[in-house]
Amino acid sequence: MKAFYFLLPLLMINACKTQTGTATTTENTMEQISEKATGCPEAGNCNVQVHENMNLVVKEDGTGATYPEMVAGSNTVVVYTYLKKGPENTVDGDYSETIHFEIPKAMKNINKVNASLSDVKLLYGKHCYCKGEAGYYPITNGELSVSINNQTLAFNLNFEVGKTSQVISNISETVKF
């Protein structure tokens, strides 16, 4: 019994050890063709991720705020991210904006304007330490065109959120499978 009490702290320390090694993912993403995203402000970095065989579900938390969730499915979800790093040695100084939308599997060309943007679940996210402004907002004022051909996805989005300030308002991207 004394040996157990002696070994117990050693077991607890070993249990807290973080795992090392390479993490792998089964998610399919595409690469950007251009080095710098078109429309990306110089002060930050932008990237595009395309998730095949996923569906975008817009959920609501207990406070009435909406948020996106990707679940396994048959469609394609596009996530565009703008990130501006905060000042050195700050915990909550980063600022980012995300755009999420879903492309139905059978569609190769999409043109949506204003209210019809809800058909692709177009969602704008603002992530920062900015009380009253951070969160996700449905985009209902803008224009989205998407074209898929020869292992390439191109999209152009011009939009205005209206409910909060925004840095990104025009995105024109081409990504390759």
Question: What is the rounded CA–CA span in Å between residue 28 and residue 137?
Answer: 26
Residue 4 located in a structural domain: no
Total count of domains within the chain:
1
Residue 21 located in a structural domain: no
Full 3-state SS string of 27-91: CCCCEECCCCCECCCCCCEEEEEEEEEEEEEEEECCCCCEEEEEEEEEEEEEEEEEEECCCCCCC
Max Cα–Cα distance, the chain, nearest Å: 73
Residue 13 located in a structural domain: no
Residue 16 located in a structural domain: no
Note the pLDDT of residue 141: 95
Taking CA 57 as the corner, what is the angle to CA 155 and CA 103, rounded to the nearest 5 degrees?
A: 25
Task: Label residue 53 left, alpha or beta by phi (over 0 means left) and psi (-120 to 50 means alpha).
Answer: left
Note the pLDDT of residue 147: 95
Note the pLDDT of residue 150: 83
Note the pLDDT of residue 42: 85
| Residue 106: Cβ within 10 Å count | 7
Note the pLDDT of residue 24: 33
The one-letter amino acid at 167: V
Residue 12 located in a structural domain: no
Closest CA to 170 of 5, 46, 7: 46
Q: CA distances (Å), 149 to each of 37, 55, 105, in order?
A: 20, 20, 13
The residue assigned the tokens 């603002």 is 126
Residue 18 located in a structural domain: no
Question: Which residues contact residue 92 at a Cβ distance below 8 angstroms, ignoring those fewer than 6 apart?
Answer: 86, 129
The residue assigned the tokens 């795992």 is 19
**pLDDT (tens digit, 9 = 90+) per residue, 144-165?**
999 999 889 999 999 999 889 9
Residue 6 located in a structural domain: no
Question: What is the rounded CA–CA span in Å between residue 131 and residue 98?
Answer: 18
**pLDDT (tens digit, 9 = 90+) per residue, 24-46?**
333 444 444 444 456 688 889 99
Tell me the whole-structure pTM to 2 decimals. 0.77
Residue 151 located in a structural domain: yes
Note the pLDDT of residue 9: 52
Instruction: List the chain residues with pLDDT less than 70.
Output: 1-39, 177
Q: Which domain holds residue 108?
A: 26-176
Note the pLDDT of residue 56: 96
Note the pLDDT of residue 17: 43
